[in-house]
Amino acid sequence: MSADGADAMGNLTRILITGANGFVGRAAVAEARRQGLEVVAVYRREPLENWASDPGVFAQRADLSDRESIGLLKEAMSGVGAVIHAAAHMGGDADKHADDTLRGTEILLEAMQGSEAQLILVSSIAVYDTMQLDPGATLTENSPLESPETARDAYTAAKLQQETQCSDTGRSVWIMRPGAVYGPGRTWHALLGFWASKAHVQINSDGQLPLVHVDHLATSLIAATKTPPNGLQAVNIIDDDLPTRARFLETHRKLAGWPRLVLPVPYSLWLAGVRSLKPLAHKLPGLFQEPILRARMMPLSYPNTALRSFLGGADHAPFEDMLKQSLEGQE
């Protein structure tokens, strides 16, 4: 194996994955091993038990928010041909984003200096500014982005800044923007509405849900490690078969038995109510704030044309089958 993580034929042989024990990271590790790639699995707290029995997984504990980890990461980069950066804070805590998302990315990029390894950043479809889109519009890689200074929440701001950190290196980078990621242990998400006691309030039943199954995302991430990007290349990672909210809820109820009671509310009616409460918006939950409502609930279309054009692939199965597998996998 050469220093750039390729064999004598120039084929990629070893990659590094940050956040390797997280929801996306562990799926990426599994897909890389399925394709015969060695993996340096960088984790912060606990390694996965199955890594110990896999000679192709090299577990490396490192806290990306700690500058003392730079030396460890530099050593771990030896022989690595591509880096999938999946480590980040997933909540809404701005301080944790500053540490885990932004400082973590800064330290990783410093450790990568001098390396020719290809970089694949796991960003988010949340970076788009849906305040500039109309209901029924099509969201693509050319749609307007939010600004970090005025972003609707700390998560969106951090993802935008993280993309800028990577682009400022001058490297060719895959900016991967997955939709709502689901799979075993995570089948419910914030794009479906909210609970009012035992009833689920469904805002809008039209428009597609921008979903991606975690296994489909992992397949796309590994495909990116083997495909040079054209400079800074942003790609929305979305499944081929995207359900409406009504279809999702009907399927989930059929397979899991809940939610039993659904109260559908038209998006236009809810939006009108939110606008009437605008003076109080800063005191109200997210779906009573127009920027968050539009980002989560506005009926839009989400084509994955760029994904399939650049990286190929296809869904492993229709949505209903993937949701069934996910629910069975968390039992």
For the segment 140-172, what is each residue's pLDDT rounded down to a tens digit?
A: 999 999 999 999 999 999 999 999 999 999 999
Asked if the structure places residue 47 within a domain, the reply is: yes
Residue 325 within a domain? no
Question: Which pLDDT score, from 0 to 100, does residue 3 have?
Answer: 57
Beta bridge partners of 236: 177
Q: Domain span at residue 121?
A: 14-185+210-241+302-317
Distance CA(242)–CA(193), nearest Å, equals: 17
CATH number, domain of 20, equals 3.40.50.720
Report the percent of the chain where pLDDT is more than 70: 96
pLDDT on residue 331? 55
Residue 269 covered by a domain: no
Say how far apart CA 61 and CA 46 lie, in whole Å.
8
Q: Is the link from the previous residue into 259 a cis peptide, with omega within 30 of 0? A: yes
Q: Which one-letter amino acid corresponds to residue 286?
A: G
| 121 found inside a domain | yes
What is the value of pTM for the model shown? 0.95
Please enumerate in sequence order all residues whose Cβ is within 8 A of that of 41, keeping only pairs 6 or more positions apart, or say none. Answer: 17, 20, 21, 25, 29, 47, 48, 51, 57, 58, 59, 60
Q: Is residue 95 part of a domain?
A: yes
3-state secondary structure the chain: CCCCCECCCCCECEEEEECCCCHHHHHHHHHHHHCCCEEEEEECCCCCHHHHHCCCEEEEECCCCCHHHHHHHHHHCCCCCEEEECCCCCCCCHHHHHHHHHHHHHHHHHHCCCCCCEEEEECCHHHECHHHCCCCCECCCCCCECCCCCCCCHHHHHHHHHHHHHHCCCCCEEEEEECEEEECCECCCHHHCEEECCEEEEECCCCCCCEEEHHHHHHHHHHHHCCCCCCEEEEEECCCCCCCHHHHHHHHHHHHCCCCEEEEECHHHHHHHHHHCHHHHHHCCHHHCHHHHHHHHCCCECCCHHHHHHHCCCCCCCHHHHHHHHHHHCC
User: Over the stretch 82-127, which tens digit does the pLDDT of each residue have?
Assistant: 999 999 999 999 999 999 999 999 999 999 999 999 999 999 999 9
Average per-residue pLDDT for the chain: 95
Q: What is the pLDDT of residue 96?
A: 96
Is residue 311 included in any domain, yes or no?
yes
Instruction: Determine whether 95 is exposed, middle or buried from the number of CB atoms within 10 Å of its CB (0-12, 13-18, 19+).
Output: exposed
pLDDT in tens, 174-214: 999 999 999 999 999 999 999 999 999 999 888 999 999 99
pLDDT of residue 9: 47
The domain total for the chain is 1
Measure CA of the first residue to CA of the last residue in the chain; give whole Å.
Answer: 41
Cβ contacts of 128-133, under 8 Å, gap ≥ 24: 128/295, 130/291, 130/294, 130/295, 130/298, 130/300, 131/290, 131/291, 131/294, 133/294, 133/298, 133/300
Residue 258 lies in a domain: no
Is 155 part of any domain?
A: yes
Q: How far apart are CA 201 and CA 195, in angstroms?
A: 6
Give the model confidence (pLDDT) of 242-252 as tens digits.
999 999 999 99
Residues near 196 by Cβ (< 8 Å), separated by ≥ 6? 263
